[in-house]
Structures are given as structure tokens and as C-alpha cells.
Structure 1
Amino acid sequence: MTTPVIEICVEGLDGFLAAQEGGADRVELCASLIEGGLTPSIGTILEVQARARIPFHVIIRPRGGDFLYSETEFASMLADVKALRELGVPGIVIGCLTPDGRIDEDRTAQLVREARPMSVTVHRAFDMTNDPEEALEALIRCGVDRVLTSGQRPTATAGVEILKRAVDQARGRIVIMGCGDLDETTIADVRRRTGLKELHFAALRTEPSGMVYRNPEIGMGGTELEREYTNTVTDPDRVRATIRAARGA
């Protein structure tokens, strides 16, 4: 088997640097991974760009929740894509659906056109579609370069049959990038059973906040107070271990 491309999903500059240190081939740059990843700030993108030795793709997602966007949300997505193209960012990660659970081909094609020559990945909005085979053909028609998927299941292990069918269906017309709770114990088996050439994981760990004073009466953002004083970070040792397992398959 060919050596797989490993993409690490990270939050912020520290996450990017940890993934780069750990040996990632590419990074998906996000904010707010607790919401599944949102568009990071321009300052974060500029700092990553200044320090990057590997490609990074920026998620274009204005909010958490579903992938059915209002006209104003979509306008902001187009504006983000244009800004990143003008900055020379290597790639973007997008996803737009219709109310009936299909790929929104019109909006996806608009985003692809606005993005070029950047690389374009569609994220796990694909996993929320009602027909993965039809959705894959729609993405191919739109000119998307790759799609991130766990095989429409919570984990790649559970979705392995759909992942394998997607790889077979793609026939080199689009890259299938597998994800979904991949770690050093699962990644080699999933790769072997599917034939995936690109793999994506997060390699996160939690660590306590450095805050000494903690107001017990109030929290920010509606989270549990304990969660507010817990930071989620990319672990370069886990990145290395999972990459070793993937490449040893």
C-alpha cells in the first residue's frame, strides 16, 4: 500500500504547531472544536501561515449546528473564501446541504469557483446526507477535491463498509479521506479494510486551566463551570503514535 497522507484537525495556533511537530502531512485549522469546528480568526490564520512548514486547510463554517445556511451566512462564507484565497492559503474545508439532506450543488459549486486555485475539501456534512452514493457524485460534479467522512457512522470502524464503497465508487475522481475516532488502536485496521489513502484525526487531550481564581457564581458561554476550566489541546505524542500505526499497516 502507498504511504497514507495524514491530516490532523486542530484548534488554533498551538494545535497547529503541535500537529506540525508530531509529523502531520497537513492540518485542518479550526476554532471551537467543541462545536465540531468553526472558522478561525484572521489573526490565527496569519500566525499559522507565518509558521507553517506543511499545508493547512481552513474550515469555512460560520456557526455550529446544521449545514443549512441562510443567505447572509452563505454570503459570509463566500467572503471568507475570497479573503483566504487572496492571502494565499493552501485550502479550505466547506459543506452546504439542502433541507432534504442532499448536497447543495449550487452553493458548493459557487464556493469551489471562488476558492480556486485553493484545494477544496467537503467536511462531514457529507455524513449527514440521505444518500451517500448520490452525494458523492454531486461533489464530483461540483469539482470538489476530497471529502471527509466516517462512513455516515459515529466512528470509522462502524462506518467501514460505507467507506470502502465510497473509495470504490470514487475511482480516483475525488479523494476519500477517512475519519471518526481514529487512533493508534484503530487506524491501521480501517486503512487495511478500506484502501483509504488519506486519514484524518484529532489526537486531543485535556488539561486543567492555569487559572487560580475561579468565580464559582458564573460561567461563560453556557458551559459547565468545570468545562470552562479544562483546555483541550493537540497532543504531539498521540499524533506520532497514530501516524506510526497508520504507516505500519
Structure 2
Amino acid sequence: MTLLKEAVVENFTDIPAAVRNGAYRIELTDNMAVGGTTPSKGIIAEANKYLTEQNVELTVMIRARGGNFVYNDTEVKIMEADIFEAQQLGVDGVAFGAVTADGELDEETMEALIAATGGMNITMHMAFDALNPTSQLSAIDWLADHDVTRILTHGGALDTPIEDNFDRLKEYTEYAAGRLVILPGGGINADNMETVAAALNAKQVHGTKVVSYK
């Protein structure tokens, strides 16, 4: 089976090359230097138009700011509005995540954001890795029960090699049991993605370097 590559881009310019070089899905974001924030409406619109013509999926990052994933009411309203915009533009999916100050899944915020999606695919992004490890399996249950499509995760701290986190990623995948997709990301590139996918029995990988942008 062909490995499905989700390529992360932060501008429209890189999208045609990413598609040409085998991207199955694009995650469109802005400000990758801070881990990604919501891109502008104009970029989303042009990316969605192009990718629809190319029959390539588009996921848009929904994040009000860099930093942690603990959001106040105003930030939640901003992200709800951004999700509505993405929905109106016909985007395939959105990626977001919210965590409480004590490291639990922020179910109230997640419910509000999920309610705004209107049937788009939902990715719980790497906010998942900010959860208390003891809470991650129950979070998988909650996310699966709330129709989340996939969880993007490194399996541990982002500054650790992904190979060091294989056991944890395997645990997530086995526990999810097909209820949602565990999407490995962080430190995956064109050189190691086949090895990572084989070790994890993963059918999809995510990263800024899984395809060429030339």
C-alpha cells in the first residue's frame, strides 16, 4: 500500500510542488516558527481552490497564537470564527487542540470547536502531546466518541527522536483500534518515513520534509 504523505506548508507557493512530489494531503498553517497558527482567509481560499482541482485534501491549522494550548474565552471565539470561515470556503478538514492548565483535555473548548466544524474532518494536533501521559488513553476515547478523524502525535516531547517514542505510538495505535487514525509526525522526513511507517504499521505520515518543495 502506498504511504500517504501529509505535507505541512505555510504559504501557497510551496503547494504545487508538494502536490507534484506526492503529497496526499496538505496541512496549511502560518508561523511555523511558533508551531503553527491559523493562516489568512485569502491563502486558505486559494489553496482550497487549487487543491480541489488537484483532488488533494486540505487541512487548515486552527490556532489563535503560539505558545501553550490553554485558551481563554476570546481565543476560543476567534478559533470558532476561523473554523466557520474554513467551512464556508469548503475546506476538507481542520486541525486544533485544547488542553487545561493542569494537562487534561479541555473538553468544553473541544466541544465548542467541534460543533463549529459542520462535518469537516477533524485532526487533534500535537496539543495531544501536551496532555498528561496518564490522561492520553482516555483522551483517545473521548476524541473517538466525538468524531475526531485523527490524532497527530510525536509520542513524546518534540525534541526527542521519533524512534525513541515508537513504543508509545504503538500503544496509541493499538488502543485506538481503528476508531480514529494515529498520525505520526515530528522528525519524519523522506529518508526515514518508510522505516517509521513500517515500525508503527502506519499508513500515513506527517511533516514538513516528507515531500520536496522544489
Find out whether 1:153 has 2:161 as its counterpart.
no
Matched, 1:99 2:108: no
Alpha-carbon offset, residue 144 of structure 1: 0.8
Conserved 8 A contact 1:109-1:143: no
Determine the structure 2 residue equivalent to 1:117.
Answer: 119
- Tell me, what secondary structure is at the counterpart of 1:74? helix
Letter in 2 for 1:43: G
RCO greater where, 1 or 2, for CA within 8 Å and sep 6 or more? 2
Q: Distance in 2 between matches of 1:200 and 1:158?
A: 17
Q: Trace 1:167-246 onto structure 2 (pairs within 5 A).
A: 167-203=173-209, 235-236=212-213
Equivalent AA in structure 1 for residue 137 of structure 2: E
TM-superposed CA distance for 1:176, in Å, is 0.6
Distance in 2 of aligned mates of 1:165 and 1:101: 20
Larger Rg: 1 or 2?
1
The one-character-per-residue Cα deviations of 1:79-101 (angstroms, maximum 9, x if unpaired) are: 11111111111110011111111
Number of positions where the alignment pairs a residue of Structure 1 with one of Structure 2: 207
Say which SS state the counterpart of residue 206 (structure 2) adopts. Answer: strand
What does residue 89 of structure 1 align with? 91
Equivalent AA in structure 2 for residue 236 of structure 1: Y
> Which residue is 2:58 aligned to?
56
Which residue, 125, 128, 143 being the options, matches 1:126? 128
* Structure 2 length-normalised TM: 0.91
> Does the residue aligned with 1:64 lie in a helix, a strand or coil?
coil
Give, in whole Å, the separation in 1 of the partners of 2:209 and 2:77: 33
| Aligned partner of residue 75 in structure 1, secondary structure | helix
One-letter code aligned to 1:46? A
**Secondary structure of 2:78's aligned partner:** helix
What SS class does the counterpart of residue 148 from structure 1 fall into?
strand
The equivalent of 1:70 in structure 2 is 72
Question: What runs of 5+ residues in structure 1 fail to find an aligned partner?
Answer: 205-233, 238-249
State the Cα RMSD in Å: 1.6
Q: Could you tell me which residue of structure 2 aligns to residue 166 of structure 1?
A: 172
Q: Deviations over 1:173-228 (max 9, x none)?
A: 01110111112332222211111121101029xxxxxxxxxxxxxxxxxxxxxxxx
How far apart, CA to CA, are the structure 2 residues paired with 1:4 and 1:23? Answer: 10
Q: TM-score, normalised by structure 1?
A: 0.79
- Cα shift readout 1:11-57 (whole Å, capped 9, x = no counterpart): 11012222112110000000111111110011111111221111111
In structure 2, C-alpha distance between the alignment counterparts of 1:203 and 1:183, rounded to whole Å: 5
Contact 2:190-2:209 within 8 A present in 1 as well: no
Instruction: Provide the secondary structure at the position in 2 that maps to 1:159.
Output: helix
C-alpha displacement of 1:161: 0.8
Residue 116 of structure 1 and its aligned partner are, at CA, apart by 2.3
Moved over 6 A (4+): none
Q: Does the 8 A contact of 2:150 with 2:181 survive in 1?
A: yes
CA contact (8 A) 1:67 1:125 kept: yes
